[in-house]
Structure 1
Amino acid sequence: MNIARLVIITFALIIYRIHTDLIAMDIGPLEQQCAALSLAEEEAGGMEVPEMPSVPDETIHHNLVGRFLTDRVIKAEHMQQVFASVWRPVMGMYAVTLTEDLFLFQFPHPKDLQRVIEDGPWSFDNQLLICDQVLSGTRPEEVVLDSVPFWVQIHGLPTMYASPAFVAKIGEYVGTFIAPDPLNFGGAWRSFFRIRVRLNVLSPLKRRMKLLRRDGSSQWITFRYERLGTFCYCCGLLGHSDKFCKTAYELNILPDAFPFGAWMRAGPRRQARPVGARWLLSSGVSMTPASSTPEIGIPPATLVTMEEDKGLHGDLKRRREEGTSSDSVHDEDVRMVESSKNSEMAGLVDQARPDQ
């Protein structure tokens, strides 16, 4: 027992000694070092403030909300620059990013908004913009964006069956009929009819429609879509190509068996002419200057006579002087030879006339 008590007393003395030394120790320099380290972290560190979202101008009531039919990230800054340069609103516009895939376009004047809606559809980076007007008392997030208006061309419709009422029925078959082209009846001649139709982006495009005649025969009419962006040749849906089509992957459909194709895209209504075409010479045109330059000092009247002698009048005059009878005309004077140029010019008759 004595030994155990001695051990306990010795251990208690050791603990007391250690505690006393810690109390007597000067911890001032250690506190200063810790404080300096904390200040250094404060100076070097920091936290970035969150980006303040743009707030729509509530005083503007002519708003257009839209989203892009794609899963790609849209560069909003570049997109609004492109649309502003294309739309060219007379009274200006505002572009606001509401969410990552929802955008608001504000127009101070209603005519600018109406023109943008009527001239659609619009695309950015070949991605279709689904947009609609935000009515008064409606929030932009509440607008249903699932359809886009398109101009659709009806090809192969016999003139005997063409009427405003029947054309409207065809529009209801393609989608939701909006309006006909004013030039369909009584305007410039065209080989097709145009209708404005609202298409649901969740439904495949219509390729054609069968006309059933009274005698039991039938005929197909086809549809072509103006300003048609990315769509799938396999399933006919807008917003993706056949390279990313689940149907083509699951059913292992080859491109040769795709029911849709590029033929459903209508060509541009106006052929763009290169700005310098009127001055550029073709490669077959000789650049050798004319050698029949008149000498200096010849009177102007003589120059006119010399130029006329080079043309048709001079040729006929020489023939009369040579005794050629006006009734005896050589075959080479009236024969028309078919050339590639004539064929190209004749082929233009079969093409549709451009819209006025």
Structure 2
Amino acid sequence: MADPTTEASRLEALCKSLGNLWSEDDVIDVTQDISTEKLTECRLTLFGKLYTRPNVNFQAFLSTMKRAWRIENFSCTSLELGFFSFTFKLEAEKQKVLDAGPWSFSSNLLVLQQCDPDIPDICYDFSHCPFWVQLFGLPFGRVTTEVVREIASKTGEVLEVKLEAKGNSNYKVGKTRIKLNLATPLKTGVVVNLGNKKLWIEFKYERLPHYCYSYGRIGHYTTACKEIPYKTTRLEEDLLGNFSNWLQAEVRELSPYGKIFYGRQTQLIDDVEMVPESPMEAQSHES
């Protein structure tokens, strides 16, 4: 919801727009407190919106989410195309779903928001979504909560920092949970200045749904990109795009940019066999 100053200015604009269509008698004071039962229901409810392609089979969607969440006993209501409410029986189950995200259906990102008892369902913001982001290439001596947080802040609002042991050793790697702006391209990495040297640190995104290999935005394929027309990318000639599968945490190798920085290749097209991503290609991979 808007801050009080913005809310006041919007109310003033509404009154001017309505003119004689309203009077002070149309202002209703609701003084009754929200019941404990209703507060509990709100606390156990999440709103979810499919970021793109909202017209999906509801039963298939519900069945898929039950399997993914490993929770059978929750209710799901379709409020409109691609917009759902989920009400859970237990707080722990709801929180598990929030903490283990992001979630997708058929590679289509499902953005979740906690229900607020005083916010209308039309006012929820689904333009941001938390993702776990790993810092690839950060030296062992620099893996601290403070350093990880500072580097990760270049991608968005940092919600949580984790330093995890790698295998059975004491070697730890850093990752953060970041609220990403879905309207902007994914950030590939940053240059870190250590004083006596500079390093290229890459961002690897966990559970990344489909995204554009030319513009880097979540929610559409390269062939459907409005920012960079597919014919201008030369991806159909198997040439490298600005982004590729190396953004995914499962791909444990340097991006072409990292390879250039560390002297492992001299041109973006060296050592990389690139096949353009498309809906047809994705379907064939799934099958």
| Aligned counterpart in structure 1 of residue 247 of structure 2, from 252, 261, 264 | 264
Cα 1:189–1:148 change in 2 (3 A) is farther
Which runs of no fewer than 5 residues in structure 2 stay unpaired? Answer: 1-36, 253-287
Q: Does 1:241 align with 2:224?
A: no
Distance 1:188 1:149 in 2: 29
Contact residue 129 and residue 180 of structure 2 kept, 8 A = yes
Which residue pairs with 2:70 in the alignment? Answer: 88
Q: Does 1:63 align with 2:67?
A: no
Distance 1:103 1:76 in 2: 10
Q: Does 1:77 align with 2:55?
A: no
Which runs of no fewer than 5 residues in structure 1 stay unpaired? Answer: 1-56, 270-356
Q: Structure 1: which amino acid aligns with 2:56?
A: I
C-alpha displacement at 1:233, in angstroms?
A: 0.9
Distance 1:72 1:238 in 2: 15
Q: Which has the higher helix share?
A: 1
Q: Does 1:169 align with 2:150?
A: yes
Distance 2:104 2:245 in 1: 17
Which residue pairs with 1:33 in the alignment? Answer: none
Distance 1:154 1:129 in 2: 24
Contact residue 184 and residue 193 of structure 1 kept, 8 A = no
CA RMSD of aligned residues (A): 2.6
Which residue pairs with 2:93 in the alignment? Answer: 112
Which residue pairs with 1:307 in the alignment? Answer: none
Q: Which has the higher strand share?
A: 2
C-alpha displacement at 1:71, in angstroms?
A: 3.0
Distance 1:194 1:187 in 2: 18
Distance 1:251 1:158 in 2: 40
1:204-283 alignment, distance < 5 Å: 204-215=185-196, 217-249=197-229, 252-255=232-235, 256-267=239-250
Distance 2:229 2:167 in 1: 48
Q: Structure 2: which amino acid aligns with 1:87?
A: W
Cα 1:143–1:245 change in 2 (3 A) is same
1:1-356 alignment, distance < 5 Å: 60-61=41-42, 62-89=44-71, 92-183=73-164, 188-189=169-170, 192-215=173-196, 217-249=197-229, 252-255=232-235, 256-267=239-250
| Partner deviation per Cα, 1:305-347 (whole Å, 9 max, x = no partner) | xxxxxxxxxxxxxxxxxxxxxxxxxxxxxxxxxxxxxxxxxxx
C-alpha displacement at 1:190, in angstroms?
A: 5.2
Q: How many matched pairs?
A: 211
TM-score in terms of structure 1 length: 0.55
Compare CA radii of gyration and give the structure with the larger one.
Answer: 1
| Partner deviation per Cα, 1:140-187 (whole Å, 9 max, x = no partner) | 222111111111111111123332111111121121111112526998
Q: Structure 1: which amino acid aligns with 2:209?
A: G
Q: Structure 2: which amino acid aligns with 1:249?
A: P
Contact residue 184 and residue 194 of structure 1 kept, 8 A = no
Q: Structure 1: which amino acid aligns with 2:204?
A: R
**Equivalent residue of 2:101, what SS?**
coil
